Structure 1
Amino acid sequence: MKFDNPEDIIQLTPLWEGERFPNGRPKVPSDILRRMRKITLEEAWGPLWNRGYTNQFEGDLKIVHPDRVMVGRAVTAVMVPKRPDLHDALMKYGHEQEGRRGFFNQWVIDSIGEDDVVVVDLYDKIYQGTYVGGNLSTAIAARTKQGGAVIWGGIRDYQQVVHIDGINVYYRGSDPTAIADCTMTGMNVPARIGKAVCLPGDIVLGSPTGVIFIPPHLAELTVVQAEKSQVRDVFGFIRLKEGVYTTAQIDAAWNVELWEDFLRWFNGADEAAEYRHLTWERELEEARKLPGGPGGPGGDVRL
């Protein structure tokens, strides 16, 4: 049994076709992470739900900084209650065969880098289940720059953690005890966080309502669809205030004339400047194919 095994990680994430870290973990581009920070959790949820990914969200968590959005690539860990023979064998293997130092939680945090988020299934253990405190949270902040942690378990040193810049932590509860009587059985393996499943390399989007785990092969699509929804809303609000369209027209499938009005606005309006990397040929072409053709009922096509 190996921790953080590249062959296992690649096997778990076959739909990812992009760059990978040396350990095989999918490396979603930094630009996608940057854009992800500007979308809402609900905007990310829709594309996943519509594609059958219905176990990606968990909201029953406390948050160190509820007003901050957290985005990063998942580094996962799975813990179980301590059984002495298993615990000793895995600790010995990690120390002697893989050169790791300290306790299991330190192994994981020593492996993370910029824009990572530590995602830990600690089986809802809080008493002696405090995965991070002041020191390890400081290490996470230093290594990830703007990442953090999602812990289905506990934390300690809350009064220190809350003052650490560049980190957010989602957790189940706090306790003054140190972590004990638990064993890590997997690193960068599938992890369960409440009702949600997270794989290594998933994009973690944390909001005031909870966390969602976005498969890497759907990250760009999720961002693009969210951005398209945002800019169409901006256009719709403007035209509604101007009295050009009714709410029924804006909320229904757009006809070709409405799409063409939108595209003229999109290509020239200051409000649309940050969205001009988006393209709309597919939507316009699909609208033209629907009954009635130009001027008839249009289509609003999901990506």
Structure 2
Amino acid sequence: MRIAPLPEDLIELTAAWTGERFPDGRPKVADQTLRQLANATTEQAWDVLRKHGFHRQFAGGWRQTHPGRVLVGRAVTAQFLPHRPDYDAAVVAAGAREGHLEGDRQNSWIIETLRTGDVMVCDIFGKVKDGTVIGDNLGSAIAARTGVGAVIDGGIRDLQGLSELDNANIFFRDNDPTAIADVTLAGINLPVRLGEATVLPGDVILGTPSGIMTIPPQLAETVAVAAEDIRIRDIFGKLRLSQRTYTSAQIDVGVWAPEIEADFQDWLTKR
């Protein structure tokens, strides 16, 4: 068994992506696309993904260490399972073969794999008490390595300290003073679950005040371009509504009438 899959396994898992990859096989969505996605809303991304047949990419109901701050980055996934002694022994042995020290906590194994622009995505089955994947020490390591943050479907501790990290936003279910216990790391860069969403390594994570959107890498640029178009159209639509040029029924439709579209294109050119 392995803790992290081989590069060829990740390439097969994410075969829909044909662009650049990290040495471990994860898709590497361009930095420029990530910057563009930072301006996208949950609803804009949801609309594009739905049109491409991806109907279960949203997970809501989070707390954040920095409410209101948008989180965008490439997913490094990890899954924990309830502790079982014989399975844990097998994981420890596999971890040793892959260079992880037996004395290190398994949650730190994930952090050591992170790169700039990554988002650590942990599925710990919603566990909060004894399910606190990070505190402010490991949070500081995540901030230093990624400059982005993490999404933890479970708990954190040291919320006050984590809230003081200026270069990382952590999405989590709840906080608790206990330390992580009675769980075993099932693997790194596996398919994991966040609510109703399946997350693959290399997915783009878009975290907003609404929740988490998991964007397949092959659709990240499409979402970024469409979101920008929607944003500009929203500006125009609200302007014309405030001027009472058109009715709400005329603006709030899927496709504008030809005369409104022409007005928009003229406004866009002059803008």
> What's the TM-score once normalised by structure 1's chain length?
0.84
Select the structure of larger CA radius of gyration: 1
Q: 60-69 or 259-268, which moves further after superposition?
A: 259-268
Please give the residue correspondences for 1:79-94 in structure 2 after superposition, counting only pairs within 5 Å: 79-94=80-95
Alignment of 1:168-187 (within 5 A): 168-187=169-188
Mapped to 1, the partners of 2:192 and 2:243 lie a distance apart of 50
Map 1:176-255 onto structure 2 (within 5 A): 176-252=177-253, 253-255=255-257
Q: CA deviation at 1:123?
A: 1.2
Distance 1:239 1:174 in 2: 45
User: Which residue of structure 2 lines up, in the alignment, with residue 130 of structure 1?
Assistant: 132
Partner of 1:58: 59
Higher RCO structure (Cα 8 Å, ≥6 apart): 2
Of 109, 114, 126, which residue of structure 1 is paired with 2:116? Answer: 114
Q: Distance in 2 between matches of 1:92 and 1:176?
A: 30
Deviations 1:253-277 (CA, angstroms, capped at 9, x unpaired): 33444333322221221xxxxxxxx
Paired residue for 1:286?
Answer: none
Cα displacement string for residues 133-186 of structure 1 (whole angstroms, at most 9, x for unaligned residues): 0110000111111x1111111111111111111111111222222212211112
The separation in 2 between residues aligned to 1:182 and 1:25, in whole angstroms, is 26
Q: What is the one-letter code of the residue matched to 1:43?
A: Q
Runs of 5+ consecutive residues of structure 1 not aligned to the other structure: 270-303
Letter in 2 for 1:262: F
Return the alpha-carbon distance in structure 1 between the equivalents of residues 249 and 125 of structure 2.
Answer: 48
User: For residue 26 of structure 2, what is the aligned residue in structure 1?
Assistant: 25
Deviates most, 113-122 or 165-174: 165-174
- 1:2 is the counterpart of 2:28: no
- Which of 142, 148, 152 lines up with 1:140 in the alignment? 142
Whether 1:167 and 2:168 are equivalent positions in the alignment is yes
1:230 CA displacement: 1.1
- Determine helix, strand or coil for the equivalent of 2:129: strand
Q: Could you tell me how far 1:242 is from its partner in structure 2?
A: 4.0
CA distance in 1, matches of 2:160, 2:119: 21
Residue 219 of structure 1 aligns to a residue in which SS? helix
Within 2, Cα distance between the matches of 1:168 and 1:56?
Answer: 20
Could you tell me the TM-score, scaled by structure 2's length? 0.93
Q: Distance in 2 between matches of 1:74 and 1:54?
A: 19
- Contact 2:125–2:154 under 8 Å retained in 1: yes
Over the matched positions of the two proteins, sequence identity in percent amounts to 48
The one-character-per-residue Cα deviations of 1:212-268 (angstroms, maximum 9, x if unpaired) are: 111111111111111111111222233334444343433343344433332222122
Query: How many Å separate the matches in 2 of 1:251 and 1:177?
Result: 49
Counterpart in 1 of 2:99? 99
Counterpart in the other structure of 2:268: 266
**1:75–1:257: structure 2 CA closer, same or farther, 3 Å change rule?**
same
The aligned counterpart of 1:290 is none
Aligned positions, number: 267
The amino acid across from 2:149 in the alignment is G
